[in-house]
């Protein structure tokens, strides 16, 4: 789950980290109150949206008066922000953060995240903050340092000295930097973060360190114990994806026209891949999970059928935890309630496969049986090609 900048900064502030004073507003009507709370009429208005590159795209503006702050806020809220990261569809701005402007002398980069291969938490540092870290990694990889605090100990003095030296901090900045690094490490653990990125970590003109912008992602598996971060787990999801999640289904809408219902994330991806291999495009990723109920299977089928781009449906189930007869009953139930508007290809294999196949065969429904994965994918791709050719 991603947090907006204002939500992330609230966590940083709670942890005692130096962030500029700021107030979030959801409409221009709230600007006056916010500026009164901030005690000034000059500052920076920052669009709250899940993307980098906001500045270049016009999502970050300076203001010098209340009227200007209101005007900028009213323009930003509801606007679609298109950046190099969002793609042409952009992201909608629903809030604006009004913040004290900092006078910046230097911009650094500091992130805490997981290094999967090393199975450890990693600090990623660069003296060249303020820009995309991927660009730094590509063009000047020598300006990136990764350090690994010892698990259970946190960042030690030697590691912090190395980090501080690499960032080119002065002797008087080393202690406040060490404090920031320790607090970020502790916050990463306390809030089950997947990513805690401070970019830029700024040195202001007085020589003090300030956390100017942040990107905070929380581990989705830990949301059961992280309910007070202010984030919305559904913030970036399509309505169908939210509906699917209620039934324990993992669904991601895509651009193609073959709807897929598969069990297991790996097989779901492989099914998308094989559809693409035979020249068609998957309309979605859908993993019904290992222990879905008949009801969940019915729901999955409804969600796929509800996508108007879908011209054929491919069900590919290899029953392990979930027996094939349960899948078959779910499909039959769904077809009986919602009707079958497009060709349906079903491939079942694994636990109770014979019962599942028998149920489908004896249902009297017009379902195309796929003998194996290749056969099923070919048949699904062929029905779409046939429909497109108007045959």
Binding flag, residue 271, other proteins (CB under 8 A): yes
H-state helical runs in 211-339: 239-246, 265-277, 294-305, 324-338
Binding flag, residue 235, other proteins (CB under 8 A): no
- Taking CB under 8 A as the rule, which mask of x and - marks residues 289-328 in contact with other proteins? -xx--------------------------xxxx-------
**In contact, 19 and 12? CB cutoff 8 Å:** yes
Upper half-sphere CA count for residue 249 (Cβ side, 13 Å): 30
**Of 53, 154, 176, 350, the one binding other proteins by CB under 8 A:** 350
Question: Least distance (Å) from other proteins to the CB of residue 331?
Answer: 17
Binding flag, residue 115, other proteins (CB under 8 A): yes
Complex with other proteins: residue 172 or 224, whichever CB lies closer:
224
**Of 265, 306, 336, 337, the one binding other proteins by CB under 8 A:** 265
b/e per residue 279-314 (b: at least 16 CB within 10 A): ebebbbbbbbbeebebebbbbbbbbbbebeebbbbb
Binding flag, residue 225, other proteins (CB under 8 A): yes
Q: How far is CA 174 from its chain centroid?
A: 34
Complex with other proteins: residue 254 or 387, whichever CB lies closer:
254
**In contact, 268 and 286? CB cutoff 8 Å:** yes
Question: Least distance (Å) from other proteins to the CB of residue 119?
Answer: 5
Cα distance between residue 71 and residue 63, in whole Å: 9
Question: Least distance (Å) from other proteins to the CB of residue 334?
Answer: 21
Q: Name, in order, each residue with C-beta under 8 angstroms of 391's C-beta and a sequence gap of 6 or more.
A: none
Question: Least distance (Å) from other proteins to the CB of residue 217?
Answer: 6
Question: What residues numbered 366-385 form the site for other proteins, per CB under 8 A?
Answer: 372-374, 377
**In contact, 184 and 110? CB cutoff 8 Å:** yes
Selection from 140, 126, 133, 129 nearest residue 106 by Cα: 129
Binding flag, residue 98, other proteins (CB under 8 A): no
Question: Least distance (Å) from other proteins to the CB of residue 254?
Answer: 6
**Binding segment (CB under 8 A) for other proteins, from list 37-45, 71-79, 129-137, 296-304:** 129-137
Cα distance between residue 212 and residue 198, in whole Å: 7
- Reduced to 3 states (helix: H, G, I; strand: E, B; else coil), residue 369 is strand
Upper half-sphere CA count for residue 390 (Cβ side, 13 Å): 0
Binding flag, residue 264, other proteins (CB under 8 A): yes
The helix (H) or strand (E) run that includes residue 98 is: strand 95-99
| Rg of the chain in Å (alpha carbons) | 26
Binding flag, residue 7, other proteins (CB under 8 A): no
Question: Least distance (Å) from other proteins to the CB of residue 24?
Answer: 22
Question: What residues numbered 18-37 form the site for other proteins, per CB under 8 A?
Answer: none
Binding flag, residue 211, other proteins (CB under 8 A): no
**Of 39, 119, 158, 239, the one binding other proteins by CB under 8 A:** 119
Active site residues: 109, 197
Binding flag, residue 285, other proteins (CB under 8 A): yes
Cα distance between residue 102 and residue 202, in whole Å: 9
Binding site for other proteins (CB under 8 A): 52, 85, 87, 111, 113-117, 119-122, 124, 132-134, 137, 144, 146, 151-152, 189, 192, 194-195, 197, 215, 217, 219, 221-222, 224-225, 252, 254, 262-267, 269-277, 282, 285, 290-291, 318-321, 349-351, 372-374, 377
């Amino acid at each position: 789950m991603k947090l907006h900048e204002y939500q992330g900064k609230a966590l940083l502030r709670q942890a005692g980290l130096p962030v500029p004073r700021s107030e979030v507003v959801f409409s221009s009507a709230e600007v006056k109150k916010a500026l009164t709370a901030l005690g000034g009429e000059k500052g920076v208005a920052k669009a709250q949206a899940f993307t980098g590159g906001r500045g270049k795209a016009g999502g970050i503006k300076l203001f010098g008066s209340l009227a200007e702050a209101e005007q900028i806020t009213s323009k930003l809220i509801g606007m679609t922000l298109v950046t190099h990261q969002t793609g042409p569809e952009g992201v909608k701005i629903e809030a604006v953060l009004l913040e004290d402007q900092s006078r910046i002398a230097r911009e650094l980069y500091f992130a805490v995240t997981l290094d999967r291969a090393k199975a450890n938490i990693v600090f990623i540092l660069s003296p060249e903050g303020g820009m995309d870290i991927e660009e730094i990694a590509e063009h000047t990889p020598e300006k990136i340092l990764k350090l690994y605090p010892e698990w259970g100990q946190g960042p030690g003095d030697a590691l912090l000295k190395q980090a501080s030296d690499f960032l080119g901090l002065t002797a008087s900045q080393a202690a406040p930097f060490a404090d920031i690094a320790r607090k970020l490490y502790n916050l990463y653990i306390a809030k089950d973060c997947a990513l805690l990125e401070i970019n830029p970590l700024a040195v202001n003109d007085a020589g003090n360190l300030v956390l100017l912008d942040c990107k905070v992602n929380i581990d989705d598996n830990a949301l059961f114990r992280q309910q007070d971060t202010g984030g919305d787990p559904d913030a970036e999801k399509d309505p169908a994806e939210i509906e699917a999640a209620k039934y324990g289904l993992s669904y991601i809408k895509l651009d193609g026209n073959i709807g897929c219902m598969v069990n297991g994330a790996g097989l779901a991806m492989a099914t998308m891949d094989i559809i693409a291999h035979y020249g068609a495009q998957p309309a979605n990723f859908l993993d019904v999970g290992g222990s879905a109920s008949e009801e969940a299977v019915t729901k999955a089928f409804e969600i796929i059928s509800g996508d108007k781009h879908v011209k054929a449906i491919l069900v590919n189930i290899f029953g392990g935890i979930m027996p094939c007869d349960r899948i078959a009953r779910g499909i039959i139930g769904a077809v009986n309630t919602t009707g079958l508007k497009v060709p349906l290809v079903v491939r079942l294999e694994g636990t109770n496969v014979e019962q599942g196949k028998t149920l489908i065969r004896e249902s009297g429904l017009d379902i195309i049986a796929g003998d194996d994965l290749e056969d099923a994918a070919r048949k699904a791709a062929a029905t779409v090609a046939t429909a497109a050719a108007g045959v």
